[in-house]
Structure 1
């Protein structure tokens, strides 16, 4: 009888531990994600977008994990470049100049890597050298550089950057990288230990609608 009681006690203890683990895997509000102060779904076309800046070192590191996250959520991730300071605003101009000339609406990984490299290039380069490398990067992709845009392209660029500014402002986004889900929720990336946990939170938020 004592042996049976011990066995049952161990079983119940195991069930409690399993329940606790299961509960911990569910993302929690203001821990793994937050609710945006304003619904910005009318400003964002895709269910999942990465909010980033070319000037951000952590965003550069996140680039290598995006394919794995996309695989984990079963869909492509859009991009929004923040404009919360002058440096980010200038970088946004270059990003959207490339994005609006890309078939998918966002630059491919090669172009993104080139843009990141230019913003994190050695200080040994002069401003003219950096400018030339930027022009070369656009030409290498068969694109018109930001310095050579037509009036029509400039107007389109203005619309893209204005929309990004609206998303940044209305969403009150002040740190990157992060992910916006359904225009309502923001993933707190620093609260996650690995790529899979980020994908799990995104999937959870997608299910919330």
Structure 2
């Protein structure tokens, strides 16, 4: 009888230790190592890769303030240039970032998403007017009115974004890059708190 109890205790101990060791984020489930390091691109420690045309990205934007609170990080952004519509969204986003010299705040991003995702009934003129309002209300130049120098800055920013997403092999949005080395697998998380937990873990990794 003692032998049976001893075996049971050993097995239970091993099970508990096994659960403890695997309680953190798991590579291939919650995150992956990027195929190449993007450290040279000087991204923010936590950077969201997104598109203004993406419905899931619009939903994620609502959670950005919470993620920033849970991680203590100001989350940077990289806009994808997958296709023509994404390139238009990138032009709008980087027209703001290049003028501000920083990532647009949450309120501005929310307005951008609303302007670019107005629905099927909206015309191109409606969207242009909405985008103009986002810029003009902040005393910024709309991308539709950029001069040659501003256009060059815009194209340079878009080229950097293209290089980041191409080298990093980012094929779906929204996602997050941490420390220029790791990609968060958002589908491997149950909620925003668990995503933040993985971010905090990766921020401590070399």
TM-score of the aligned structures, taking structure 1 as reference length: 0.89
2:194 & 2:19 partners in 1: Cα distance? Answer: 14
Q: Residue 176 of structure 2: SS of its match in structure 1?
A: strand
Partners of 1:112 and 1:193 in 2: how far apart?
24
Q: How many residues in Structure 1 have an aligned counterpart in Structure 2? A: 205
Q: 1:138 aligns with which of 129, 135, 139?
A: 135
Distance 1:68 1:10, change over 3 A: farther
Poorly superposed stretches of 4+, deviation over 3 Å: 9-13, 15-21
Shift of 1:23: 3.2
Deviations 1:90-127 (A, max 9, x none): 10000000111225x11111211111011211221211
TM-score by length of structure 2 reads 0.90
Deviation at 1:16, TM superposition (A): 5.2
Q: Does 1:125 align with 2:149?
A: no
* Alignment of 1:81 onto 2:79: yes
RMSD of Structure 2 on Structure 1 (CA) = 2.2
1:49 aligns to 2:47 (yes or no): yes
Contact 1:111 1:141 in 2 (8 A): no
What is the SS of the residue equivalent to 1:49? strand
1:168 — aligned with what? 165
Other structure's SS at 2:35 match: coil
Unaligned runs of 5+ in 1: none
- 1:69 is aligned, of 67, 70, 92, to 67
Q: 1 CA distance for matches of 2:42 and 2:169? A: 15
Superposition pairs of residues 147-186 of structure 1, within 5 angstroms? 147-186=144-183
